[in-house]
Amino acid sequence: MKLLTESPLEVQVEELAALPMTITEIAMFTGQDADELRAIINTQPMHSLAKAYNRGKIRTTIKTRFDNLHYALHGSPEAMRDVKEYLSDQIIDENA
């Protein structure tokens, strides 16, 4: 963790969001005000901290979906259900 504490704030936020830690936990670790960080993330999507937070979240989403697809292809009914939901969400989003 020493390396993370010496990283730029955006890197810290991205890495912690990928764990996935809450905004409150990220703020505590980085020494930021949780309400201010939350406001940036929720209202300023082009802010470097909001982008970093969302990149971290999406990295975990990608890993989770990759794992679920792997398990579905190997016969897991729960994973198959999740993958079908992902595909359905994808189609809905394409037509939004």
Question: Each residue of 7-47: pLDDT tens digit?
Answer: 899 999 999 999 999 999 999 999 999 999 999 999 999 99
Contact yes or no for 9/30 (Cβ under 8 A): yes
Q: What is the mean pLDDT of residues 55-63?
A: 97
| Reported pTM | 0.85
Q: What is the mean pLDDT of residues 70-82?
A: 97
Q: What is the DSSP string of the chain?
A: -HHHHTS-HHHHHHHHHTTTPPHHHHHHHHT--HHHHHHHHHH-TTSHHHHHHHHHHHHHHHHHHHHHHHHHHTT-HHHHHHHHHHHHHHHHHHT-
Q: Round to whole Å and give the CA distance between 47 and 35.
A: 15
Give me the pLDDT at residue 81, please. 97
Q: What is the mean pLDDT of residues 68-93?
A: 96
Give me the pLDDT at residue 2, please. 56
Give me the pLDDT at residue 76, please. 97
Give me the pLDDT at residue 64, please. 96
Q: Can you give the length of the chain in residues?
A: 96
